[in-house]
Amino acid sequence: MGTIIEASAVATAAAHQRSLSPGALELADAAARSCLESAHRSSEELDVLINAGIFHDKILSEPAFASLIQEDLGANLSPPTGAGRGTFSFDVLNGACGMLTGMSLIDGMLSSGTVELAMVVASDMDPEPGVSEGFSFPGVGGALLLSGDDARAGFTAFRFATFPEFAKLFHSYVDWQEDAPAGRAQDGRNILTVEIAKSYVTHALDCAEPIVRELAAGQALDLAEVDLLVATASVPDFADQLAARLGVSAELVAILPEDLAAAHTAAPAAVLQEVDLTAAGTTLFVSVGAGITVATALYRG
């Protein structure tokens, strides 16, 4: 049985600012609902819900953001009074590699029969516009619905690697600033800071290329056979540059719209809105995030 992406959806702050106050939770909720609708599925069918977003409302550390999304979706909220099914929600925190990490975990749980339908949701939004420092990601939420399919291969391999020598190139943290600028607070405040070095994209490419080649070698895949490249790293132009290094034609690169080019954790779902995954034979997923962490996967439609 293969793990397939049954549906994907995206919700952007720009598109939703008239109908709702688009915090990260609202974007995640909207993407998740849209994803379920497009697959003609009910939220009550979800066995597992994983949130992979990082920058969310108030920077909540408890509970898991996924449990809030689950409640908003109305997915098996109440305790069972008899036979029934539940939903298990938790967060995966792995920067821009979170969605691929979540999909690898779901791939395992689908294979073992522990679950039958699962979703990975991710969204990022500046929690305090005008106060946070260095936050440059567009407000966007994405959702991917996964299930098992006996007739299709789906995900056939995942590969992950970390390069801690480049950990300082992409940093985000919340820290107390005593000297917060006037007008913010008298006695200081906790402020989110995001720092991405200019050299990050070059090192992201350097780290990703050998891991992709290892994945391909392990799967006896000639990279010339790749029909679709879905590559994200929270910075614009990463996908094109990686394709050039790998020898994948530029025409086979899935490209984010310009306003979402720097999308963070939701980027893989956002990219899939631009392509027909089912029509593509062999899709190569590559995500690079802080760490530097590289996540790659091979998907056979």
Q: Which of residues 204-233 bind another protein (CB under 8 A)?
A: none
Q: Which helix (H) or strand (E) is 193 found in, with range?
A: strand 189-196
CB of 41 vs another protein, minimal distance in Å: 10
14 binds another protein (CB under 8 A): no
Distance CA 281, CA 261 (A): 25
Cβ of residue 95: shortest distance to another protein, in angstroms?
Answer: 5
Q: Structure tokens of 89? A: 């929600």
Using the minimum distance from each CB to another protein, give the nearer residue, 254 or 297: 297
Q: Got the DSSP string for 224-291?
A: GG-SEEEEE-SSTTHHHHHHHHHT--GGGB----GGGTT--TTHHHHHHTTS-TTT-SEEEEEEEETT
Between 194 and 231, CB nearer to another protein: 194
**Would you count residue 1 as binding another protein (CB under 8 A)?**
no
Residue 35 beta carbon to another protein: minimum distance, rounded to whole angstroms? 18
The interface with another protein within residues 88-147 (CB under 8 A) comprises 88-95, 97-98, 101, 105, 108-109, 111-117
Residues 226, 260, 60, 121, CA torsion sign: negative
Task: Using CB under 8 A, pick the residue from 86, 153, 245, 273 that binds another protein.
Answer: 86
Binding segment for another protein (CB under 8 A), chosen from 238-246, 255-263, 272-280, 289-297, is: 289-297
| Token pair for 99 | 């969605």
Taking the least distance from each CB to another protein, the nearer of 130 and 173 is 173
- Residue ranges in 257-286 that form contacts with another protein under rule CB under 8 A: none
CB 98 within 8 A of CB 265: yes
Cα–Cα distances in angstroms (integers) from residue 12 to residues 43, 142, 174, 248, 270, in the given order: 21, 9, 24, 29, 9
Q: How many CB atoms lie within 10 A of CB 212?
A: 26
Total residues at interface with another protein (CB under 8 A): 71
Nearer residue to another protein within complex by CB, 99 or 228? 99
State the residue for tokens 């939220």.
Answer: 43
- Greatest extent of the chain over all pairs of C-alpha atoms, in Å: 62
Q: In the bound complex, what is the minimum distance in angstroms from residue 112's beta carbon to another protein?
A: 5
Q: In whole angstroms, what is the distance from residue 243 CA to residue 240 CA?
A: 5
> 170-199: which residues touch another protein (CB under 8 A)?
170-176, 189-190, 192, 194
Which residue stretch of 149-157, 219-227, 276-284, 288-296 sits at the interface with another protein (rule: CB under 8 A)? 288-296
Query: From the list 1, 15, 38, 60, which residue makes contact with another protein (rule: CB under 8 A)?
Result: 60
Q: Is 287 in the site for another protein (CB under 8 A)?
A: no
